[in-house]
A and B are shown apart, each in its own frame.
Chain A
Amino acid sequence: MQLKAGLRIKSAVCAGEFIVVRAPKDDLDLRCGGHPVLAHDAAGDKVVAATGADGGAPMGKRYADDALGVELLVTKAATGALGVGDAFLEQKGAKALPASD
């Protein structure tokens, strides 16, 4: 899928929804629960998550791969795990920024 910062996407296996915070220029095989993610307005029934790809993604957490230049924010919690190809994306650590407003 061609990603773009600000793009809303959803999981094909669960209620998970995400927003793209940072996107690479090239297409990315972004998956949730082992299945390619869908455009936010895509229709169709949910499919069953692939075995072992059910680690989940809690709301409000970010997942990123700095080498690939991708970052996602979870806007609705997912039961499927986020990944690129067969590799899972890592949850980013708590932000070190102090409150400034």
Chain B
Amino acid sequence: MNMMMLLEMASGAMGDRVAIGDADTGLTYARLFELAARMATHLREGGHERLLYCEISTPALPVALFGSSWSGRPFVPLSYRLADDRLRDLVSRQAPAMALCGGHVQDRLVATDGISMCDPMAYLAELDNETPAEADWAFDEDDIAVLLHTSGTSGEPKVAILRQKHLVSYVIGSVEFMGAGEDEATLISVPPYHIAGMAAILSNVFAGRRIVQLPSFEEHEWVQLVREQNVTHAMVVPTMLARIIDVLADGRGLPSMRTLSYGGGRMPLPIIERALELLPHVNFVNAYGLTETSSSVSLLGPDDHRDAIASTDPAVRARLGSVGKPLPTVEIEIRDPDGIPVVAGVSGEVWVRGDQVSGEYAKRGSTTTDGWFPTNDGGHFDEEGFLFVEGRLDDVIVRGGENLSPGEIEDVLLAHPSIKEAVVLGLPDVQWGEIVAAVVVADENEVQVSDDELRAWVSQALRSSRAPARIERRDELPYNDTGKVLRRVLRTELSP
């Protein structure tokens, strides 16, 4: 298998359709295929063993993803937001390699041995001087397709290895070829170094859905692009959706939008409820997946969302906080700490198996057993088979022998009208082992709430053991650039 097979099919069946960019002036599938062919020649002749991409999204990104696959080189998207020394370190480990990055990143990398640098769009413009490679990409399914650095919000970042077989299996197992109508367009606003950014390119190319790129997420620009480009589909992370909702207070809605999927972190209930209310015509999809699983492994579909919001049955209503059911091509089990599967209703660790599941890291090797990958996410199934993800197992608070889920307490805090943002974490405590600490951002437009009132609010909704012993107030929370709260930063700041 090779990802190029996906683009070859798209180029053969709908070569004249626009793949990337504006509906009138964008790159067609045939042109994308041709540019990838020319890039493959350049990468092979230059002796580059890998292709790095350290820049915001540009039309050069999909060309680079396919061109590296064509030439048999791993594609390595890196965050341009990393600190200088860390970025230099990660880049130098990939030598000999070609790095696509703009002048501002080139200045920071200075001269690194074995790394040739070029601005992505300048590189794209030069490609027409190269001879297109023959359709000779390797079909070894074990070739490395993409190396991705995981976000590491609770620990050290790792380098996940995604092989051709993982990404191709994911796409052909979950996307209908040419399933998109010619009028459909998707807006990609997640960065290239996020698994969702990679999956979005592959899935939409195979589906035949035009890709519109928003290089750096900003909510007003996102809404404006949707309206201008008649965007029908988009994927966002929870913090993006929260900000988009604020812009939609202008009452103009998103008339062209059909399907809005979200994932990449826990969605606070009040935000998805508000989104459903503001955009009643939109199909919402909650997608759960990890870098190591080549994107989504479980989906909560549009009908599930509508059923949940309309229901008075608490069990059905609760599904708004669920990630739905496993993809037909994926198996999911909840297991106890000994690796034994548990029954519905019981929490444990989420384990995943399927052709798209890698679970392999550079240096550390595979973490799978018999194909099963332990995600380090806590979760449970309900009686109807809906999966609930409770957050990273490292984040579970153990207070006096009782396991508390931070997400559950965060949802209650966020439901308070005076609280805008909240994160809950465990802090070491001599008496309890750990105590519950909450870091909150108050809504300045609302009546302020006291610590005792907040504790009573949580005790009433859950139990007194869940009430935060310590409450810290901040003007803002620390997030990484894909919208995940940096718990380890807060834990360090709050620990004695």
Contacts and interface: CB of A to CB of B under 8 A. Distances in A.
B36 to A, nearest CB: 17
Contact of A75 (B5, B287, B327): B5
Given A5-B355, A59-B12, A75-B9, A101 B177 contact: no
Interface in B432-469: none
B233 interface: yes
Contacts of A8: 139
B199 A98 contact: no
A101 B355 contact: no
Given A6-B141, A60-B9, A95-B179, A100 B172 contact: no
Most buried by B among A6, A61, A76, A95: A6
A20 B233 CA distance: 30
- Report, as a range, how many residues of chain A touch the other chain: 10 to 19
A93 to B, nearest CB: 10
Given A19-B172, A59-B13, A98 B299 contact: yes
Interface string A27-57: 0000000000000100000000000000000
- Report, as a range, how many residues of chain B touch the other chain: 35 or more
B53 to A, nearest CB: 18
Contacts of B175: 95, 97, 99
Contacts of A19: 1, 5, 172
B77 interface: no
A21 interface: yes
Contacts of A13: none
Interface in B184-226: 186, 196, 199-200, 202-204, 207, 209
A101 B1 contact: no
A67 interface: no
Contacts of A6: 1, 141, 165, 168-169
Contact of B302 (A5, A73, A95, A98): A98
Nearest to A5: B355
A14 B225 CA distance: 45
B235 interface: yes
B174 A98 contact: no
Contacts of A60: 9, 13, 176-178
B96 interface: no
B5 A98 contact: no
B203 A99 contact: yes
Contacts of A101: 186, 196, 199-200, 202-204, 235, 261, 287, 295-296
A65 to B, nearest CB: 16
Contact of B172 (A21, A59, A97, A99): A21
A99 B261 contact: yes
Contacts of B287: 100-101
A98 B12 contact: no
Contacts of B233: 99
B47 interface: no
Contacts of B173: 21
B428 interface: no
B418 interface: no
B259 interface: yes
A12 to B, nearest CB: 20
A22 to B, nearest CB: 9
B355 A100 contact: no
Given A40-B139, A59-B9, A94-B176, 4 more contacts: A5-B169, A19-B5, A99-B180, A101-B287
30 contacts: A5-B169, A6-B1, A6-B141, A6-B168, A6-B169, A19-B172, A21-B172, A59-B9, A60-B177, A60-B178, A61-B177, A73-B177, A94-B179, A95-B179, A97-B176, A98-B259, A98-B285, A98-B299, A98-B301, A99-B203, A100-B174, A100-B235, A100-B285, A101-B186, A101-B196, A101-B199, A101-B204, A101-B261, A101-B287, A101-B295
Interface of B: 1, 5, 8-9, 12-13, 139, 141, 165, 168-169, 172-180, 186, 196, 199-200, 202-204, 207, 209, 233, 235, 259, 261, 263, 283, 285, 287, 295-296, 299, 301-302, 327-328, 355
The 5 A-B pairs at the shortest CB distance, nearest first, are namely A60-B177, A100-B287, A101-B200, A101-B199, A101-B203
